[in-house]
Amino acid sequence: MSKKDDQVRLRADNLRREIEEHDYRYYVLDAPLLSDAQYDQLARELSQLEKQYPELITPASPTQRVGGRPREGFGAVRHTVPMLSLANAFGKGELNDFDRRVCSALPGETIKYVVEPKIDGLAVSLLYEDGIFVRGATRGDGEVGEDISENLRTIKGLPLRLRRPVARLEVRGEAYMPKDAFARLNEARSEAGEPLFANPRNAAAGSLRQLDPKVTASRQLDIYVYGIGNSEGITPESHAGALAMLKELGFRVNPHFQLFSNLADVVAYCREWQGKRFNLPYVIDGLVIKVNSLSQQERLGATMKSPRWAIAYKFPPEQAVTTVKDIIVRVGRTGVLTPTACLAPVCLAGTTVTRATLHNEDIIKEKDIRIDDTVVVQKAGDVIPEVVEVLKERRNGREQPWRMPDRCPECGSPVARLEGESAVRCTSLSCPAQKEEGLIHFVSRNAMDIAGLGPAIIRQLIRAKLLSDPAGLYSLRYEDLAPLERLGSKSARNLLDAIAASKRNSLARLLFALGIRHIGERAAKILAAHFGSLERLMAADEDELTAIPEIGPRIAESVKAFFAGNQNRQVIEKLVQAGVNTVAEKESEGEGKPLAGKAFVLTGALSGFTRQQAQELIERLGGKVSSSVSHTTDYVVAGENPGSKYDKALALGIAVLDQEGLRKIAGIV
Question: CA nearest 447: which of 521, 518, 500?
Answer: 521
Which are the contacts of 604, defined by CB distance < 8 A and separation ≥ 6? Answer: 638, 639, 640, 641, 642, 643, 646
CA dist., res. 370 & res. 402, Å (int) = 6
Identity of residue 280 = L
Contact at 8 Å (CB) between 320 and 268?
no
CA dist., res. 84 & res. 77, Å (int) = 15
CA dist., res. 339 & res. 361, Å (int) = 7
- Inter-axis angle of helices 435-442 and 455-463, to 10 degrees? 130
Q: Report which DSSP code applies to 65.
A: S
Contact at 8 Å (CB) between 253 and 228?
no
Which are the contacts of 594, defined by CB distance < 8 A and separation ≥ 6? Answer: 621, 622, 665, 666, 667
Paired sense of beta strands 635-638 and 655-657, if any: parallel
CA dist., res. 253 & res. 34, Å (int) = 22
CA dist., res. 372 & res. 376, Å (int) = 13
Contact at 8 Å (CB) between 263 and 97?
no
Which are the contacts of 349, defined by CB distance < 8 A and separation ≥ 6? Answer: 278, 318, 378, 379, 382
Q: Report, in this order, helix, strand and coil percent for the chain, each rounded to 5.
A: 40, 20, 40
Q: Of 4, 92, 112, 118, which is the active-site residue?
A: 118
Which are the contacts of 150, defined by CB distance < 8 A and separation ≥ 6? Answer: 67, 71, 213
Q: What's phi and psi for 404, nearest 5 deg?
A: -65, 135
Any catalytic annotation for residue 503? Answer: no
Annotated catalytic residues are 118
